[in-house]
Copies of this chain bind each other. A is one copy, B any other.
Amino acid sequence: MYNFESDYLEGCAPEIMEELIKTNSIQTSGYGLDDYCSQASSMIKKAIHNEDVDVHFIPGGTPCNILAIASCLRPHEAVIAAKTGHIAVHETGAIEATGHKIIEVNHIDGKVDPKSVIEACEKHNDEHMVKPKMLFISNPTELGTIYTLDEIKILKEICNRYNLYFYLDGARLSNALAFADNNLMLEDISHIFDLFYIGGTKNGALLGEAFVIVNDELKDDFRYELKQKGQMLAKGRILGITFKTLFTDNLYIKLAKHANKTANALRYVFEALNFKFYVQTPTNQIFVILNNNLIKKLKQKYSFLIWEKYDENSSVCRFITSWSTREEAILEFAQDLRELI
């Protein structure tokens, strides 16, 4: 059984494991105040070409989103997100649990539709409705698509016009950055967004995301929020060691390139056999339409996600590759698929 369900199905990248072993017996301060965190923070500031930011390490993606919103918004302020946005669908109401409404807007292949954002801002115009105050996007999106720099600039302009914070969920940001034609670079991100995070969990870390606060207004007391929301690890060092390693010798991009490369191979397999895609994606998520009978047969040997019903006879299936996907697994899958159709 080979598993294409997600990109967090193994332990961590060997380079990270090595560092964890090497540093294991060294004493450090707790709660992320150790030297590893501090070094990792410096390396990230350099990588994003912006020294004027605060970097915090947070165990997971949902916690990043909780903190971005709960720390920055007043009770009556709301966050705008695509209907398909992770916070809107797949976080069990984590945002609402902190008291904030999510205003859901339309999307185009997972990317928020600027027109729909404007409409939401125009509509929410008095005190009987929540006040939009943040725009949430994921890049890559939950559908594996990515934003261009131009698209981001348009959204930024809307944020400026309506006085919205602009926040980027970068759970799989590395996969966008590792895509050859991507033109939204870390440097752009670190100057356009008010806050964003660089995902580790889905790119080879045991756990952990690097949360970056760009806007000075939002920096104060963030560690209080971190602690209050139960997200300040006693051994915060693990996250420091992890990100220090990820940002050494470009490992962060190397791992994502492998994920993208194996995704490309898998995509090619489907294309070559004339399967249709639900959405065209340049990153490590593939949404392909498969016949339900074929799915049943494939499931005997492969694990993958059935995303949603496509029509009576077929379904949209999600395949994800990762830093750890074995290339032979793709080849074997290709052969199996060819035999089954």
Q: Which residues of A contact B (CB under 8 A)?
A: 2-3, 5-6, 8-12, 14, 17, 20-21, 23-30, 59-63, 66, 70-71, 74-76, 78, 89-94, 96-102, 104, 127-131, 201-202, 206-207, 221, 223-235, 237-238, 324
Contact = CB atoms under 8 A, between A and B. Distances in A.
Given A60-B234, A201-B234, A97 B229 contact: yes
Contacts of A92: 76, 127-130, 224, 227-228
B75 A70 contact: yes
A5 B30 contact: yes
A59 B3 contact: no
A9 B29 contact: yes
A21 B10 CA distance: 11
A11 B17 contact: no
Given A6-B30, A96-B99, A230 B62 contact: yes
Contacts of A90: 128-129
Contact of A207 (B25, B221, B233): B233
Contact of A60 (B2, B21, B74, B230): B230
Given A230-B62, A230-B63, A93 B89 contact: no
Contacts of A17: 20-21, 24
Contacts of A26: 10-11
Nearest to A86: B128
A259 to B, nearest CB: 15
A220 to B, nearest CB: 9
Contacts of A128: 90-92, 227
A28 B14 contact: no
Contacts of A21: 17, 21
Contacts of A75: 70-71, 93, 97-98, 225, 228
Nearest to A12: B24
A94 B228 contact: yes
A74 B99 CA distance: 12
21 contacts: A3-B29, A5-B30, A11-B20, A11-B23, A11-B24, A11-B235, A11-B237, A12-B24, A17-B21, A59-B230, A60-B232, A62-B232, A71-B75, A75-B97, A78-B93, A92-B228, A94-B228, A94-B229, A127-B221, A127-B232, A201-B234
A290 B60 CA distance: 41
A2 B96 CA distance: 41
A48 B93 CA distance: 34
B228 A230 contact: no
Given A11-B20, A60-B233, A92-B227, 10 more contacts: A11-B25, A59-B230, A63-B230, A76-B97, A76-B228, A92-B129, A92-B130, A92-B228, A206-B206, A206-B235
A8 B235 contact: yes
A131 B9 CA distance: 26
Nearest to A99: B97
B227 A127 contact: yes
A235 B6 CA distance: 11
